[in-house]
């Protein structure tokens, strides 16, 4: 205890043996000494007000000027708040500290006892088993966690991080030295070399492995926690997200995988875990296990079939301009898929554990109102690709083929999902013939085939797991049996004036020249769908581009609108309501 006694009895605090390591001024060191004296006399918790009042004899409210000294000692990590309701140290204000109670930190107690915070690591020796190796690596991850936590709580770099980074550097060098002299095969190191994993990818893997051994469920598994672990600042966080996205080495090589769940605000969070194959190799390095087949990419398999078109959505639900009521319903659907809600449903046995996202939706309304684009954008918000099927393809001139084709749609979807371990959104475009009322009474062969096709479709909808969206122009003719099988039936009406104005603003070319008489409000007065507005802008642009003076005028637009409304161009089906 010589360092403690020296710190307490030295007349000149700056001459104390540990003073240089404190990185604080003499007044702050005196506060530490005062708290230490109280600590060894049994007063573990101390009022900030009383400390300042006892140490500094000042008139009036002069002690308030000394509050920054307490704040700096908190930032340095030599004292900690001992109140029940603590505030993050980096966010606490000086005035909040007046009524706070503080105590010596464990780090300062160690400094008083040992005279240093430097960790003396044992001499480098070979690892004798994989558990000894993992113990060092898990200690390393714990230091990364502490550094990440401090960075999150502090706005400026603290002395605590400096000390932790020094300890981390020593530990990492020791691990490398021990690996260098180890003769036995270390399964994790073999994995790192096999896939040439970077240092940050190794940390992610080791963090997830630590979670497996500790039995924790949510501490490090979420994407943001893993990203924070390997990032020093916000720029790093953005850059490092690529390590956990699709086509990254860890995901693409099936080393780790993830479950997706929606947050309360409609976002998607990912919870990562080590795949069964590699987890088995690490935990049981001496037990061989048959290697699983590498995950097949969805786009490769789609090329080998003639049913679906694979769509990778480029816009999310926030990019689509919708009627307020339609938008409200879609937002509520996203909220019902919140992570906490899904956990409750799984616990109650309502939702299968394997299917985090499950919904069957009908989008109905006139052409050009955004049904298909909204389906794509909803898939983007769910972080899903889309397998799109044009339902007009289902009809066949051969009796009996249509029924087979209905089964083939769903069988192929399940096969693609199983082989690629993905859950794309199934989009059935223009599904009117599937959803229309079945015929009753005697009928011809075509009617019987139609009814049989719909019965099969009804059966497949009942068994479907995942997200299915069917679009149709008319809802009135939908068979009640189908209506009951869909969770949501969402109407897409033609846009009102406000929506039309937004559509014009988003779709008009930004760099094009416009005449002085051009007024978006006048264009928005025309009752057009989003698809019609898109077609009008394209056709108007073609007409203006060939002029000697290519300037958009109101006359150009109004003439194009009249031709569109008179049927010169027909109904547009493209739904690009995005900027």
- Mean pLDDT across 514-523: 92
Q: Is residue 396 part of a domain?
A: yes
| Whether the Cβ atoms of residue 210 and residue 141 lie closer than 8 Å to each other | yes
Looking at residue 163, what is its pLDDT? Answer: 77
Residues sharing a CB contact under 8 Å with residue 421, sequence separation 6 or more, in sequence order:
257, 295
Strand order in the sheet with 467-472: 309-311, 386-390, 425-429, 467-472, 359-364, 488-491
- Are residues 486 and 539 part of one domain? no
Instruction: Name the residue with higher pLDDT: 154 or 35.
Output: 35
- Within a domain: 292: no
Residue 572 lies in a domain: no
Q: Which domain holds residue 522?
A: 497-565
DSSP string covering 543-557: HHHTSSS--B-HHHH
370 pLDDT above the threshold of 60:
yes
Better pLDDT: 317 or 341:
317
Residues 350, 434 within the same domain: yes
Q: Which of 408-422, 423-437, 515-529 has the lowest mean pLDDT?
A: 423-437
Are 91 and 140 contained in the same domain?
A: no
DSSP reduced 3-state for 469:
strand
Residue 570: pLDDT band with limits 50, 70, 90: very low
Please tell me the predicted confidence (pLDDT) of residue 355: 54
- In this structure, of 46-50, 188-192, 226-230, 331-335, the range with the lowest mean pLDDT score is 331-335
Question: What pLDDT score does 29 carry?
Answer: 92
Strand order in the sheet with 46-47: 46-47, 101-104, 79-81
Q: Is the pLDDT of residue 369 over 90?
A: no
Verify that 148 and 204 share a domain, yes or no.
Answer: yes
Tell me which H or E stretch contains 488.
strand 488-491
Q: What is the tens place of the pLDDT at every residue in 396-414? A: 545 557 677 888 889 999 9
The model carries a pTM of 0.48
Taking the chain, what is the end-to-end CA distance rounded to the nearest angstrom?
Answer: 69
Longest dimension (CA), the chain: 110
Q: What is the mean pLDDT of residues 101-120?
A: 83
Q: State what percent of residues in the chain have pLDDT above 70.
A: 82
Same domain membership, residue 387 and residue 513: no
> Which of the listed residues 447, 465, 491 is the one where a domain comes to its end?
491
Report the pLDDT value the prediction gives residue 161, as an integer from 0 to 100. Answer: 78
Same domain, 357 and 276: no
Residue-wise pLDDT for 135-165, tens only, equals 999 999 998 988 888 777 665 556 567 778 8
pLDDT of the residue at 4: 92
The answer as to whether 48 is a domain residue is yes
Say if residue 100 is in the same domain as residue 191.
no
Residue 318 lies in a domain: yes
pLDDT tier at 232, thresholds 50, 70, 90: confident
The CATH code of the domain that includes 426 is 3.40.50.300
User: How many percent of the chain have pLDDT more than 90?
Assistant: 24
The average confidence (pLDDT) of the chain is 81
For residue 120, count other CB atoms closer than 10 A to its CB. 7
Here the CATH number for the domain that contains residue 239 is: 1.10.10
In this structure, are 90 and 156 located in the same domain? no
| pLDDT of 572 over the 60 cut | no
Residue 424 reports pLDDT greater than 80? yes
Taking residues 259-267, what's their average pLDDT?
A: 65
pLDDT tens digits for range 295-335:
567 888 888 888 899 998 888 888 888 878 888 888 877 77
Q: How far is CA 165 from CA 119, 122, 161, in A?
A: 12, 18, 6
8 is a domain residue? yes
449-483 per-position pLDDT tens digit: 777 888 888 888 888 888 899 998 876 667 777 77
In a domain, 574, yes or no: no
Q: Are 256 and 238 in contact (CB under 8 A)?
A: no
Whichever domain contains 506, its CATH number is 1.10.8.60
Average pLDDT, integer, range 34-41? 92
Q: Is the dihedral of CA 450, 456, 461, 462 positive or negative?
A: positive
pLDDT at residue 577 above 50? no
Residue 11 has pLDDT above 80, yes or no: yes
Q: Which of 33-47, 79-93, 263-277 has the lowest mean pLDDT?
A: 79-93
Q: What is the pLDDT of residue 8?
A: 92
Q: Which of 114, 147, 164 is the last residue of a domain?
A: 114
Is the domain of 274 the same as that of 327? Answer: no
Residue 508 lies in a domain: yes
What CA–CA distances, in Å, run from 58 to 13, 16, 65? 21, 27, 10
371-385 pLDDT, tens per residue? Answer: 898 999 888 888 889
424 and 371 in a single domain? The answer is yes
Query: Tens of pLDDT along 523-561?
Result: 999 988 888 898 999 999 999 999 998 999 999 999 999
- Number of domains making up the chain: 4
79/190 same-domain check: no
Domain's final residue, options 114, 146, 176: 114
**Same structural domain for residues 268 and 377?**
no
Q: How confident is the model at residue 579 (pLDDT cuts 50, 70, 90)?
A: very low
């Amino acid at each position: 205890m010589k360092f403690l006694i020296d710190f307490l009895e030295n007349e000149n605090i700056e001459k104390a043996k540990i003073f240089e390591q404190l990185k604080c001024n003499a007044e702050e060191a005196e506060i530490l000494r005062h708290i230490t004296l109280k600590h060894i006399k049994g007063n573990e918790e101390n009022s900030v007000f009383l400390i300042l009042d006892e140490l500094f004899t000042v008139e009036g409210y002069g002690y308030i000027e000394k509050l920054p000294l307490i704040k700096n000692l908190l930032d340095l990590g030599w004292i900690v708040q001992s109140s029940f309701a603590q505030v993050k140290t980096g966010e606490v204000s000086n005035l909040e500290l007046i009524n706070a109670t503080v105590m010596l930190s464990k780090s300062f107690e160690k400094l008083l006892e040992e005279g240093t915070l430097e960790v003396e690591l044992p001499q480098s020796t070979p690892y004798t088993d994989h558990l000894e190796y993992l113990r060092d690596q898990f200690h390393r991850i714990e230091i990364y966690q502490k550094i990440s936590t401090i960075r999150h709580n502090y706005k400026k770099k603290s002395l605590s991080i400096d000390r932790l980074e020094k300890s981390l550097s020593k530990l990492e060098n020791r691990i490398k030295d021990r690996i260098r002299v180890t003769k036995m095969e270390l399964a994790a190191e073999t994995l790192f070399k096999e896939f040439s994993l970077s240092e940050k990818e190794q940390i992610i893997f080791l963090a997830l492995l630590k979670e497996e051994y500790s039995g924790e469920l949510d501490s490090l598994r979420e994407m943001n926690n893993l990203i924070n672990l390997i990032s020093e600042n916000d720029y790093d966080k953005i850059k490092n997200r690529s390590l956990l996205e699709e086509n990254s080495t860890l995901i693409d090589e099936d080393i780790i995988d993830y479950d997706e769940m929606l947050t309360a605000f409609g976002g998607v969070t990912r919870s990562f875990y080590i795949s069964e194959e590699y987890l088995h190799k690490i935990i049981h390095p001496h037990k061989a296990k048959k290697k699983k087949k590498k995950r097949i990419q969805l786009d490769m398999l789609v090329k080998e079939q003639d049913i679906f078109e694979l769509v990778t959505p480029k816009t999310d639900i926030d990019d689509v301009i919708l009627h307020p009521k339609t938008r409200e319903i879609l937002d509520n659907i996203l909220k019902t898929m919140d992570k906490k809600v899904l956990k409750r449903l799984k616990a109650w046995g309502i939702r299968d554990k394997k299917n985090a996202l499950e919904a069957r939706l009908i989008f109905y309304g006139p052409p050009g109102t955004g049904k298909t684009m909204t389906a794509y954008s909803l898939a983007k918000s769910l972080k899903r690709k889309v397998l799109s099927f044009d339902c007009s393809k289902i009809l066949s001139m051969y009796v009996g083929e249509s029924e087979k084709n209905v089964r083939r749609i769903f069988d192929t979807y399940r096969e693609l999902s199983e082989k690629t371990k993905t859950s794309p959104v199934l989009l059935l475009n223009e599904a009117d013939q599937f959803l229309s009322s079945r015929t009753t009474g005697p009928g011809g062969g075509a009617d019987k085939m139609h009814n049989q096709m719909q019965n099969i479709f009804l059966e497949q909808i009942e068994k479907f797991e995942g997200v299915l969206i069917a679009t149709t122009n008319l809802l009135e003719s939908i068979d009640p049996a189908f209506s009951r099988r869909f969770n949501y039936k969402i109407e897409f009406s033609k846009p009102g004036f406000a929506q039309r104005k937004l559509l014009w603003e988003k779709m008009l070319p930004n760099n094009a020249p416009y005449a002085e008489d051009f007024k978006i409000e006048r264009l928005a007065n025309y009752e057009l769908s989003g698809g019609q507005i898109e077609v009008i802008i394209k056709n108007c642009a073609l007409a203006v581009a060939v002029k000697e003076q290519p300037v958009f005028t109101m006359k150009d637009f109004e003439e194009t609108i009249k031709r569109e409304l008179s049927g010169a161009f027909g109904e547009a089906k493209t739904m690009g309501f995005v900027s």
